[in-house]
A and B are shown apart, each in its own frame.
Chain A
Amino acid sequence: MWLPLLGLVVGLLLGSLLTLSIPIVYANYLAIAVLAGLDSLLGGWRAALEREFDGPVLISGFFVNAIVAALLAFLGDKVGLDLYLAAVIAFGIRIFKNIGAVRRAMINNHREQKRRSLARRAEQALEETGAEQ
């Protein structure tokens, strides 16, 4: 469950060790792409919790969303319209939605487990009383 988080931390460490940097003119596009990637990742987590996970959909979503968001920002720069705001708002809203869904799914899963263990215990108790009779 916490492996992806570990992956993120390792990625951050790796990035700071390599001290990667891109030309300053592309800084905005990369920032937008990071936002899109974050959204895809949270979407993937949510799907995993809801048992609807689909690897190819996640991977394609991650890259296509990041690239399209960056292209949108680029186009916006060219036509003098702040189109990157569209990506920022869309992904921002989706990130919060996904976080909400992840939270709900985790709580539901926890309740489900609790209910099952209670049911199992009740069944065992019934069987024991049945055997005695």
Chain B
Amino acid sequence: MGRYRQQKNMLFLTALSLLLGVMMITAVNTNHAGEAKEDYELQETIAYIESLEEESATLQEQIQATREQISAIQNERAAGESELADLMVELEQLRAYAGLTELVGPGLVITMDDNTVGAELAQKNNPSSYNASNYIIHDKDLRYTLRELAPYSEAVAINGIRIIDTTSIRCVGTTVYINATRESPPYVIQVIGDPDQLELVLQNSARYQALIRAAMPITVSRSQEITVPAYTGVISPKYSSLLQDETSASQQGTNY
């Protein structure tokens, strides 16, 4: 075993070490690149969702503008024709019932918010039993509350979004999806109706009592003048059509 032999061995080992070093760094780089790519894809999806939401908002504005145009044209036509004028009054009433007009009246304003203070305390004191779900307002809290109030309410809006008969209130991650908009707490529920009656029903509802027991920050206030905005989404029946009489049987399709 000469000294020369030893040095040759070490050179072999050194060369392989060099190669291994390059391989290691390449593996690490590749791993990082993978993480970055996943992150990028997520960002892209979020951007896509946001662009769709923007599009949906502009389309809603268009719908609202078009509806206003239609009523303006109908009003113009009706002017001077008393028969039509009566129909126009009825039409306006029906539109109000359908939620297509802004309505004003006395009622109740209920504000529901997440119990962030309680959540922080619980997280600090008992992290093992902490469940974030117990400290936030869920879609079902809104649904059940609205359901309890429904028989006594004439018009309802949450965060300025009109609730109509086909409205869905669904959970989407940390936000709630109402009609076609994502809403986050606090949720301001405006209800037009008899304030006394509404408050009585609310105080007696099981869901409200449960929320109060859970120390959710909820405020209830009566108001003599609540303005509930018009519904701005689409109403497009796919399966139903009006039952038509003989005279107008030739006209197909419905136009709500």
Interface size of B by CB at 8 A reads 28
Q: Are A38 and B20 in contact (CB under 8 A)?
A: yes
Query: Please, which residues of chain B bring their CB within 8 A of the CB of A24?
Result: 30, 33-34, 37
Tell me whether A55 and B12 are in contact in the complex, defined as CB-CB below 8 angstroms, given that A11-B18, A20-B22, A22-B30 are known contacts.
yes
Q: Are B30 and A34 in contact (CB under 8 A)?
A: no
Q: 1/0 per residue B206-235: CB within 8 Å of A? A: 000000000000000000000000000000
Q: Mark out the residues of chain A between 1 and 29 whose CB falls within 8 Å of any chain B CB in the assembled complex.
A: 1, 3-16, 18-24, 26-27
Tell me whether A15 and B9 are in contact in the complex, defined as CB-CB below 8 angstroms, given that A8-B17, A27-B27, A59-B16 are known contacts.
no
Q: 1/0 per residue A53-68: CB within 8 Å of B? A: 1010011001000000
Q: Please measure, in the bound complex, the distance between the C-alpha atom of A14 and the C-alpha atom of B29, giving whole angstroms.
A: 13
Give the residue among B1, B14, B25, B31 with the most A Cβ atoms within 10 A. Answer: B25
**B200 CB–A CB distance under 8 Å:** no
Q: Are A4 and B30 in contact (CB under 8 A)?
A: no
Q: Are B16 and A15 in contact (CB under 8 A)?
A: no
Tell me whether A21 and B29 are in contact in the complex, defined as CB-CB below 8 angstroms, given that A12-B21, A15-B22 are known contacts.
yes
Query: Please, which residues of chain A bring their CB within 8 A of the CB of B238?
Result: none
Q: Residue on B with the closest CB to A55? A: B12
B92 to chain A, nearest CB (A): 62
**B87 CB–A CB distance under 8 Å:** no
Q: Are B16 and A41 in contact (CB under 8 A)?
A: yes
Interface contacts (Cβ under 8 Å), in number, total: 117
Q: Contact partner of A14 among B1, B21, B37, CB < 8 A?
A: B21
Interface segment among A43-51, A81-89, A109-117: the answer is: A43-51
Q: 1/0 per residue B16-49: CB within 8 Å of A? A: 1111111111110111011001000000000000
Q: Residue on A with the closest CB to B30? A: A27
**B249 CB–A CB distance under 8 Å:** no
Query: Please, which residues of chain A bring their CB within 8 A of the CB of B17?
Result: 4-5, 7-8, 11, 41
Q: Residue on B with the closest CB to A27? A: B30
**B242 CB–A CB distance under 8 Å:** no
**A31 CB–B CB distance under 8 Å:** yes
**B124 CB–A CB distance under 8 Å:** no
Query: Please, which residues of chain A bring their CB within 8 A of the CB of B243?
Result: none
Q: Contact partner of B14 among A7, A27, A31, A37, CB < 8 A?
A: A7
Query: Please, which residues of chain A bring their CB within 8 A of the CB of B22?
Result: 11-12, 14-15, 18, 20
B40 to chain A, nearest CB (A): 12
A77 to chain B, nearest CB (A): 15
Tell me whether A3 and B21 are in contact in the complex, defined as CB-CB below 8 angstroms, given that A19-B29, A22-B26 are known contacts.
no
Q: Are A8 and B26 in contact (CB under 8 A)?
A: no
**B15 CB–A CB distance under 8 Å:** yes
Q: Are A7 and B34 in contact (CB under 8 A)?
A: no
Q: Please measure, in the bound complex, the distance between the C-alpha atom of A24 and the C-alpha atom of B10, giving whole angstroms.
A: 34
**B3 CB–A CB distance under 8 Å:** no
Q: List 28 A-B contacts (CB under 8 A).
A: A1-B10, A4-B10, A4-B13, A4-B16, A7-B14, A7-B15, A7-B21, A8-B20, A9-B21, A11-B20, A12-B25, A13-B21, A14-B18, A14-B21, A15-B23, A15-B24, A15-B29, A19-B29, A21-B26, A30-B27, A34-B20, A37-B19, A37-B20, A41-B13, A44-B13, A44-B16, A48-B9, A53-B12
* Extra A-B contacts (20), CB below 8 Å, given A21-B30, A21-B33, A38-B20: A4-B14, A4-B16, A7-B13, A7-B18, A11-B21, A12-B22, A14-B21, A15-B22, A31-B27, A34-B20, A34-B23, A37-B19, A44-B12, A44-B16, A53-B12, A55-B9, A58-B12, A59-B16, A62-B16, A62-B19
